[in-house]
Amino acid sequence: MPIETPASSDLLRRTFLEFFAQRGHEIVPSAPLVPQNDPTLMFVNAGMVQFKDVFTGKDRRPYQRAASSQKCIRISGKHNDLENVGVTARHQTFFEMLGNFSFGDYFKEDAIAFAWELLTKVVDISPSRLVVTIYNGEGGFPADDEAAAIWRKVTGFGDDRILRLGPADNFWSMGDVGPCGPCSEIHFFHGKEPDVSRFGEEPRIDGTGWTEIWNNVFMQYERVEKDGPLVPLPAPSIDTGMGLERLASVLQGVTSNYDTDLLRGLVEKAAELSGKAYTGGSADDDVSMRVIADHARTTAFLMAEGIMPERQRREYVLRRVMRRAIRHGHRLGIDRPFLHEVALEVVRRMGDTYPELRDKREFIARATEDEEVRFRSTLKRGMKILDERFAEMRSSGERTLPAGAAADLYTTYGFPLDLTQVICAESNFDVDVPGAEAIIRGGTEADGPIDPTAAVDAAHREARAKLGQPVVFTGYEHEEGESEVVAVIRVEVEGEGDRARKVRTLVERAEAGAAVELVVRQTPFYAESGGQVGDAGEVTADGLRVEVKDTQKPLAGLVVHEGVVREGAIAVGQHVRLEVDHAARSATRRNHSATHVLHWALRKVLGEHAQQKGSRVGPDLLRFDFTHNKPLTREEISRIEDLVNEKLLSNAKVTTEILPMDEARRRGAMAIFEEKYGDTVRMLTMTPEVVELCGGTHARSLGDIGLFKITSEGGVAAGVRRLFASTGLNALAYTRGVEAELARARQAAKAQGGDLAEKIGKIVAHERELEKKITELERRILEGAGPTQGGGGGGIDAMLEGAREIGGIKVLARRVPDGTNPGALRDLAEKLRDKLGDRSAVLLGAVVGDKAQLAVMLSKAATERLKAGELIKPIARIVGGSGGGRPDMAQAGGTDVAQLDAAIAAAYVEVERALAS
């Protein structure tokens, strides 16, 4: 029986997967957006990506048919939809792709039959609104006459509805290399009267036209190298893809994906934040709202996988997306951080389907807001510079923004080049993009890459120019030294809160009380890099004391000592003494050296796959990220600690050498994840097994580290775990804290010696026994009282009043007195179900504390047509919650208690819908 329309996206996703499950397909969960073991892709951009090695014969699965709903991002490489987002009706950077796959099992005939049956019989799309396309044979491969014949047989279409197109449309490949083959697309007509003569005319944002909704790829070949020959695959296979957003637009009767239930709520959230109305048209404000809606989804989903807006490959793509959305918010007149609010709306709407969003809710909100605060502080200044430049260009008649100006915006204000292009285009100017890219690529110096999105102040550039040669670091051998002051930068803060920004001015002299950044010719202070925090300490001279709070490297070759003049005055040309905080440096040394031993121990215990993905070390902090796909067990943590401490007890000497990269590799040095190295490197040797490349400061002997203790372990992204640990006196303080907590627990439990666990076990068992007694008492009270909206009497038989028969099943939905605990709710639902008879379904609800609680019970016969776990989900969403369970029993809870009565009433509607489908 066809599904009812308009159908929700959740129903469409479920219908698609159930359709193929009934036809022998394994339902495979969505793979992460970051491809696993595939360096050719930035992000997963199609459903077949996780099956790529299966298609090529490199991997085998226990099934030959599969179906999935895959998270996808198209924002880089061949498939890059960024510039079309918000402008067209159908483009997004993030979307869900529904797909069915065959690995050498069925081929064209079944794939076409499945697609046609699902579209025209299950979701009930009229065939008169569909046309199909096939490969016409251009490009050196035969025309797909076989597919044409199958389509005629299955659909009854003539050649006027089976269109033949070239390889650009009907020969599919995932990228420059990988599986590929001819494909056949199904297109839908948006509008009143389908007109094949208009094929190829994309629907406007608010207009009519043809849209591709499903692509069936007949996977026959593999391209093993760029522009290389095509090699036949081991067995012909099927790869199909249908955008959920496009299917939803068809079944919900709208022409734009942004008007579906997947995106419309996010668009309206952007409209609400801007205080403007969304009209659904092509006006600039409408485009901006759609951009924000799409980019908020991409932001939330990437952050849920641990991707942060930074300078590396994927991280920088996320930063581009976020800054583009922030820019569109600026155009809408939103003058405060807002993107995190739209991202939270993504979490609220999609968290049930993708729990990783819900799990990372707070992280997504905080990281999104932090990035927006950073960018907003420079956006207005960058816009002011561009406006001034535009005025000059209009006066001179120039039409192209020079490469140097675009590159300066990139390095100084964090403006991605594509954002500069958009801003310029709005004022009818072009940008010398190739020239700007060449300048940026040439701006990296030998001692480290410059962050292309960091806010580099003009004062830093001037100080670097005054310096001449790069600052010399003497801190490997010394923690104090003397040098000449080359530059004094006075730092002042303008504005408050989110609008606060640092204003740096190069001065000749700074008096007591001034916040400054000092530049000297040589320094023992370590500037933050490689995961190690910058040093703190003092700069002194006769009558002068500057407290240094941090040390940074804003530009290659430039080190700035950030601090406050506490006594006297400091001036350019002055000779000063620099002294690093010895205690803090020593603690940092211990922690940094411990990370290298930890890295070795992780590989020893977990396997060679446990590779470093990042770290952060300071005097009070040791954080280490590594690749591993599950939480560490208590035994694994103990073994890792034992191995590290055994190495520390050996008191092996730590040595460093400067040598060519090739020589370091030959001697077994391990390079760290995505770090960039020059031809000459610093190799750190702790033991024959612990040899790594590192530029940080380290303990002179492993025994200097003292005690090593892991304090916590958790996940930060798919396949990435994070450890926190302490060393030396910090580790001792941690263990004493644990001992103190145990002592308090013993006192509270009145435990002696080693019987704490036994005492706690008895307390927990007693609590459970009391809960059972409370549940039994509540059940007796309920059976005697009978549930009504007001909690009045009537007994359990009276509670059966109001039961309705739907499709041969007796259905009862009731509210019981508030305060009823979930156990009693479940027991009562079970008793009512048994009273109603063999073909029955019961839903009960109550407010417990500050939450709405729901329970569903089905008889055995009812489970042949209904599933309690599925039935409760849409009902739970009404009270702002989620739930699930077995086919015969399910429970749920939600925070919107005011909607409990509405949720209970909806039970009858959901039963009808479930039986109909």
Taking only the tens place, the pLDDT of each residue in 183-213 is 999 999 988 888 888 887 766 666 678 889 9
Beta strand 501-507 with 480-494 is antiparallel
Residue 443, pLDDT score:
46
Report the percent of the chain where pLDDT is more than 90.
Answer: 50
Spatial distance between the Cα atoms of 699 and 653, rounded to a whole number of angstroms: 9
Beta strand 178-190 with 171-173 is antiparallel
Per residue in 151-177, pLDDT (tens digit) is 999 999 999 999 999 988 899 876 677
The owner of tokens 């007109």 is 195
Residue 445, pLDDT score:
31
Could you tell me how far CA 22 lies from the centroid of its own chain?
32
Between 258-267, 574-583, 712-721, 875-884, the lowest mean confidence (pLDDT) is in 712-721
Residue 524, pLDDT score:
97
Contact 719, 36 (CB under 8 A): yes
Position with higher pLDDT, 419 vs 860: 860
Residue 694 among known ligand-binding residues: yes
Tell me which DSSP letter residue 574 carries: -
Spatial distance between the Cα atoms of 323 and 317, rounded to a whole number of angstroms: 10
Residue 842, pLDDT score:
94
Between 12-26, 236-250, 462-476, 715-729, the lowest mean confidence (pLDDT) is in 715-729
Tokens for 679, please give them: 């031809």
Contact 165, 158 (CB under 8 A): no
Residue 175, pLDDT score:
65
Contact 616, 723 (CB under 8 A): no
Position with higher pLDDT, 125 vs 783: 125
Spatial distance between the Cα atoms of 538 and 525, rounded to a whole number of angstroms: 10
Phi, psi (rounded to 5 degrees) for 915: -70, -35
Determine whether 737 is exposed, middle or buried from the number of CB atoms within 10 Å of its CB (0-12, 13-18, 19+).
exposed
Residue 822, pLDDT score:
81
Going from the C-alpha of 254 to that of each of 199, 244, 251, 586, 751, the distances in angstroms are 19, 14, 8, 65, 67
Contact 578, 482 (CB under 8 A): yes
The strand pairing partners of 172, in sequence order, are 181
Residue 183 among known ligand-binding residues: no
pTM of the complete model: 0.52
Omega before 194 within 30 of 0, i.e. cis = no
| Closest of 688, 634, 681 to residue 659, by C-alpha | 681
Three-state secondary structure call for residue 431: strand
The owner of tokens 């583009």 is 324
Query: Both ends of the chain: CA-CA distance in Å?
Result: 6
Residue 77, pLDDT score:
54
**Hey, CA dihedral for 722, 724, 727, 732, is it positive or negative?**
negative
Residue 592 among known ligand-binding residues: yes
The strand pairing partners of 622, in sequence order, are 617
Question: In three state form, how does the secondary structure of 853-885 look?
Answer: EEEEEECCCHHHCCCHHHHHHHHHHHCCEEEEE
Question: In three state form, how does the secondary structure of 494-554 look?
Answer: ECCHHHCEEEEEEECEEECCCEEEEEECEECCCCCECCECCCCEEEEECCEEEEEEEEEEE
| Closest of 115, 91, 101 to residue 184, by C-alpha | 115
Three-state secondary structure call for residue 417: helix
Mean pLDDT of 431-459: 58
Mean pLDDT of 383-390: 86
Residues ≥6 apart with Cβ < 8 Å to 627:
609, 610, 611, 613, 719, 720, 721
Spatial distance between the Cα atoms of 305 and 307, rounded to a whole number of angstroms: 6
The owner of tokens 């702002």 is 880
Tokens for 764, please give them: 């927990």
Residues ≥6 apart with Cβ < 8 Å to 12:
3, 123, 244, 247, 248, 251
Residue 138, pLDDT score:
85
Residue type, 577: R
Residue 206, pLDDT score:
63
Mean pLDDT of 386-394: 88
Tokens for 718, please give them: 């798919």
Position with higher pLDDT, 582 vs 280: 582
Contact 208, 191 (CB under 8 A): yes
Mean pLDDT of 455-468: 80
| Closest of 468, 476, 467, 459 to residue 520, by C-alpha | 467
Tell me the helices (H) and strands (E) count for the chain, helix number first. 25, 37
Q: How much is the CA Rg of the chain, to the nearest whole Å?
A: 32
| Closest of 889, 916, 906, 910 to residue 827, by C-alpha | 889
Going from the C-alpha of 490 to that of each of 438, 459, 471, the distances in angstroms are 33, 9, 20
As a whole number, the mean pLDDT across the chain is 87
Per residue in 805-850, pLDDT (tens digit) is 998 999 999 998 888 778 888 888 998 999 898 899 999 999 988 8
Spatial distance between the Cα atoms of 66 and 64, rounded to a whole number of angstroms: 7
* Helix-, strand-, coil-residue percentages of the chain, each rounded to 5: 40, 25, 30
Q: Where are the alpha helices (DSSP H) in 156-283?
A: 167-170, 244-251, 264-274
Tokens for 885, please give them: 């369970």
Mean pLDDT of 676-680: 57
Between 290-299, 547-556, 671-680, the lowest mean confidence (pLDDT) is in 671-680
Residue 80, pLDDT score:
61
CA angle 661, 666, 668 (to 5 degrees): 100
Spatial distance between the Cα atoms of 197 and 193, rounded to a whole number of angstroms: 12
Spatial distance between the Cα atoms of 58 and 120, rounded to a whole number of angstroms: 36
Tokens for 755, please give them: 């019987």
Residues ≥6 apart with Cβ < 8 Å to 430:
399, 400, 401, 424
Residue 25 among known ligand-binding residues: no
Determine whether 292 is exposed, middle or buried from the number of CB atoms within 10 Å of its CB (0-12, 13-18, 19+).
buried
| Closest of 689, 719, 525, 728 to residue 596, by C-alpha | 689
Confidence of residue 672 (pLDDT cuts 50, 70, 90): low
Q: Which stretch, 3-12, 20-29, 466-475, 880-889, has highest mean pLDDT?
A: 20-29
- pLDDT greater than 80 at residue 61: yes
- pLDDT greater than 60 at residue 675: no
Per residue in 716-734, pLDDT (tens digit) is 765 678 999 999 999 999 9
Per residue in 786-795, pLDDT (tens digit) is 444 434 445 6
| Closest of 713, 702, 730, 690 to residue 599, by C-alpha | 690
Contact 22, 72 (CB under 8 A): no
Residue type, 296: A
Three-state secondary structure call for residue 723: strand
Contact 206, 256 (CB under 8 A): yes
